[in-house]
Amino acid sequence: MEFNSNKAIYLQICDAICEQILSGGLLPDARIQSVREYGADIGVNPNTVMRSYEKLTGEGIIYNKRGIGYFIASEAREIILEQQKRKFMEDELPQILRRMKLLGIDASVLSGKIPE
Amino acid sequence: MIKIENLGFSYGEKPVLKNITMTLEEGKIYGLLGENGVGKTTLLTLLCGLKNVKTGSIDVDGHVPYKREPSFLSDLYYLSDEVPEVNMKATDYAKNYGKFWEKFEISKFHEIMGIFENDPEQKMNRMSFGQLKKTYISFALACNCKYIFMDEPTNGLDIPSKAQFRKAVTRYTSEDSTLLISTHQVRDLENIIDPIIILDRQDVLLNASIAEISEKLYFDYSNERKDSALYSEMIPGGSIQVYPNTSCEESKVNIEALFNTVHLHKELVKGIFSK
């Protein structure tokens, strides 16, 4: 895996897993790789992967079956969508609006761009 | 758990390590960093009992390394920077010498050699330096030791081998083993080594996990200049700046920038991490 952004690696791993859940690559109740397997696949310390799994567990996106492994929660998709919507409204949209102001773009130009 | 207390060592009159105190926990892959000549290799050889401490002590789960008890040595592997060219096929070497390590598995040796695309039927004195190194890395991991100490393991490895090394180290070490890897090639091992130890001649400047480092220091890759930056370095498209983390946001730790920050502000950084 290529890590580019300035985000901590364990957060980038969380993003990658969430991305797979949204795209349907990981379905509810599917087992995800063990910490060690996943770490080996992407060349990352297992303890880092552990932190990612712990964060996702805390958010209810995955769950742990003792001694068996980690699985995708049935409501994972909804939780992720909710998180990302919130992030869009709180971080991304204000950034776009700031940029529009900076460039002198009027909000009215957007109306024609938004698909029905 | 490995406990090093007030360790001191000198070659004749020349002191190398002084007052080194630190603890290494099991299940972790430690990266040992330090400038040339601070004593990284010396520390590794002290930990595996090849040398004896002048002052202070080392305790490895109740063992004193210099006593070199067979039960301790059979659970330890030290991969030195320079490895001997033996007039033997790699597979024969592994079969013969594997006997000294109780938990050695020949099948695992072949598996890791396979990952490295290294031919076990080749004679070790006919191998290139990189191939020889990969043979010893495969052997080291196949020994299934609780303590694995490696001195500059990625030196001499070609580009694909570096990624293979990261995979092998993660896949083939057990959850209760302690790895200590000394290196200057931090980019080769970034994302693998955690915690990070930065050694100085007189002192342990840092011994902290990546989680702790990103909680206490912020690595900023933006173009905005900050006055509070402890360290800054120009890179294409901007700069890396390191400053004390005042928010709860965690950034990606850049080990080179971390190393330079710690060296510029030894006392300040120690203060930040002792809290």
CB within 8 A of B87, min separation 6: which ones? B123, B124, B125
| Cβ-based neighbours of A110, under 8 Å, separated by 6 or more | none
Q: Do B191 and A44 touch (CB under 8 A)?
A: yes
Report how far residue B110's alpha carbon sits from residue A81's, in angstroms, rounded to the nearest whole number.
45
CB B196, CB B210: distance < 8 Å? yes
Question: How far apart are alpha carbons B128 and B134 in whole angstroms?
Answer: 10
Residues of chain A found within 8 Å of residue B170, distances taken between Cβ atoms: 36, 39-40, 43-46
A3 with B252: Cβ contact below 8 A: yes
Q: What span, in angstroms and rounded, lies between the C-alpha atoms of B268 and B270?
A: 5
Q: Which of B152, B52, B136, B17 is nearest to B86 (CA)?
A: B136
Q: Hunting for tokens 């880092």 — which residue is that?
A: A48
For domain B2-205, the CATH superfamily is P-loop containing nucleotide triphosphate hydrolases (3.40.50.300)
Beta bridge partners of B8: B55
Residue to test with chain A: of B25, B239, B252, most A Cβ within 10 A? B252
Which of A1, A3, A4, A6 should one mutate to test binding to chain B, selecting the residue with the greatest count of B CBs within 10 A? A6
Q: Give this complex's ipTM.
A: 0.85
> Is A43 within 8 Å of B191 when comparing Cβ atoms?
yes
| Interchain contact B251–A (C-beta under 8 A) | yes
Nearest by CB: A48 against B163, B167, B210 = B210
What pLDDT, on a 0 to 100 scale, did the predictor assign at position A109?
83
CA nearest B173 in A: which residue? Answer: A36
Nearest-by-Cβ selection for B192 from A8, A37, A45: A45
Residue that the structure tokens 């992407």 belong to: A42
Which residues does chain B have within 8 Å of residue A48's beta carbon, measured at their own beta carbons? 191, 194, 210
Residues of A with CB under 8 A from a CB of B: 3, 5-12, 36-37, 39-41, 43-48, 51
Instruction: Identify the three-state secondary structure at position B85.
Output: coil
| B99: DSSP letter | G
Query: E strands along chain A, which residues?
Result: 31-32, 62-65, 69-72
* In chain A, where the domains are located: 1-106
pLDDT tens, residue by residue, A78-105: 999 999 999 999 988 998 899 999 999 8
As a three-state string, the secondary structure of B21-66 is EEEECCCCEEEEEECCCCCHHHHHHHHCCCCCCCEEEEEECCECHH
Instruction: Using alpha carbons, list the distances in angstroms from residue B126 to A68, B24, B98, B117, B148.
Output: 46, 38, 21, 16, 26
Residue B83, Cα to own-chain centre: how many angstroms?
A: 17
The domain made up of A1-106 has a fold known as: Arc Repressor Mutant, subunit A (1.10.10)
Q: State residue A2's pLDDT score.
A: 57
Structure tokens at B199: 């050694």
E runs forming strands in chain B: 2-11, 14-24, 29-34, 55-60, 76-79, 147-151, 178-182, 196-200, 203-208, 217-220, 231-235, 238-244
Query: Which tokens hold the place of B224?
Result: 């905005």
Q: Are B179 and B150 in contact (CB under 8 A)?
A: yes
Name the residue in chain B with its Cα closest to that of A51.
B211
So what's the pLDDT on residue B226?
81
Q: Where in chain B is the domain with CATH 3.40.50.300?
A: 2-205
Measured CA distances, B103 to B41, B108, B161, B264 (Å): 26, 11, 25, 44
Answer whether residue A34 shows pLDDT above 60: yes
Contact A43 B220 (CB under 8 A): no
Across A40-67, average pLDDT? 95
Mean pLDDT of successive 10-residue stretches along chain B, which has 275 residues: 95 90 95 94 96 95 95 95 95 96 96 96 95 96 96 93 93 92 92 94 91 94 82 84 90 94 93 87
**Distance in Å, alpha carbon of B10 to nearest chain A alpha carbon:** 34
